[in-house]
Amino acid sequence: MKLAVLSPVVTFHPATHGEWERDATIDDLAAVAVTADRLGYHHLTCSEHVGIPAAEVGRRGARYWDPLPTFGYVAARTTRIRLATHVLVLGYHHPLAIAKRYGTLDVVSGGRLVLGVGVGSLREEFDLLGAPFDDRGPRADEALRALRAAMSEPEPSFRGEHLRFEGLVIDPTAVQDRVPIWVGGRTLRSLRRAVALADGWNPFAVTGEQVRTWLDRVEPPADFDVVLPTVATLDPLGDPDPTREALAATAGCGATIAYPRFAHHSLAHYLECLEALAELHDPTGSVPGPRPSPGTVPGQG
């Protein structure tokens, strides 16, 4: 099981994020990104919302940095860690707009994009953007097919019920032959959508036990990723044995990649947790071995 970073700073919810994040800056996020990159963590995340209804702020938080400028900055400060949208709402964008904008990010980052997408659930935000809400599920399925046709293809073509395009040149496009696409969500339907149309599933607000039950009801391909938060909050600095147990339990739920959850009180403490966890469990999922020291460029030290 690999480890990834559910990025601090870029979102903020008082119940789940450290108070230090309230006034954190892009430099603080860069410190997290550089450390995670050096240690071999699989990816960083950034979510997307244009506007949160005021009534939802207590449940979802209000802060959502936009992924494109955030990841553009992070890509310039890192060398290997992947950049995963968590998630883009498909109904807010034409697939060709995603292919162009995030294909450009794939070029800028040297092929490190993971495209996390979702159907969406905030009617107010759909209404704000003039996007259809009631049939968003079938439209999302079609958009996924269109994205697969367009992400790495300079002259894409697609014909569906709602989307049709051909005779256009998209330059640049993603440099990866197949950009990984993960589907988010909190239902069995989202898992089935991911198995049928994508490369992985990145659920939220679903228990590990429920994930395991649902995975037993589908037949994902061998290289299908399941990306989950750890089943418990980890304290790799003070409690290594329960941390190892929580990681093993998360893998037992079916996770191929896990987001560690830390109770952190400062940027320095968060970075220490990343370091300590990497000592207990190799973030790359490989056999543990020497890692580059700070400032070392992989392959040059």
Residue 56: its pLDDT value, please?
86
Q: Are residues 195 and 300 in the same domain?
A: no
Give the residue-averaged pLDDT of 74-89. Answer: 98
Give 287's pLDDT tier (boundaries 50, 70, 90): low
DSSP secondary-structure letter at 5?
B
Q: How many residues does the chain have?
A: 301
Q: Are residues 193 and 241 in the same domain?
A: no
Residue 13: its pLDDT value, please?
86
Give 299's pLDDT tier (boundaries 50, 70, 90): very low
Q: Are residues 92 and 187 in the same domain?
A: yes
Does residue 300 carry a pLDDT above 80?
Answer: no
In-domain check, residue 168 = yes
Model confidence, pTM: 0.93
Residue % of the chain over a pLDDT of 70: 95
Q: Are residues 129 and 29 in the same domain?
A: no
Q: What is the pLDDT of residues 217-236, one digit of tens each?
A: 999 999 999 999 999 999 99
Q: Can you give the CATH number for the domain in which 145 is found?
A: 3.20.20.30
Q: Are residues 50 and 3 in the same domain?
A: yes
Find all residues with CB under 8 Å of 99, minimum gap 6, and list them. Answer: 147, 150, 151, 156, 170, 173, 174
Residue 290: its pLDDT value, please?
39
Q: Are 280 and 274 in contact (CB under 8 A)?
A: no
Q: What is the pLDDT of residues 46-70, one digit of tens each?
A: 999 998 888 888 888 889 999 999 9
Q: Are residues 116 and 184 in the same domain?
A: yes
Residue 297: its pLDDT value, please?
35
Residue 173: its pLDDT value, please?
96
Residue 55: its pLDDT value, please?
87
Asked which of 3-17, 71-85, 269-283 is least confident by mean pLDDT, the reply is 3-17
Give residue 153's domain range.
87-205
Give the residue-averaged pLDDT of 85-95. Answer: 97
**Strand positions, DSSP E, the chain:** 2-3, 11-12, 43-46, 63-64, 82-85, 88-89, 113-118, 158-159, 164-165, 181-185, 200-203, 225-234, 257-262
Q: Are residues 96 and 162 in the same domain?
A: yes
In-domain check, residue 296 = yes
Give the residue-averaged pLDDT of 251-259. Answer: 97
Q: Are residues 5 and 64 in the same domain?
A: yes
At residue 153, φ and ψ (nearest 5 deg) are -120, 115
Give the residue-averaged pLDDT of 147-174. Answer: 97
How many domains does the structure of the chain reveal?
2
Q: Are residues 192 and 99 in the same domain?
A: yes
Residue 166: its pLDDT value, please?
97
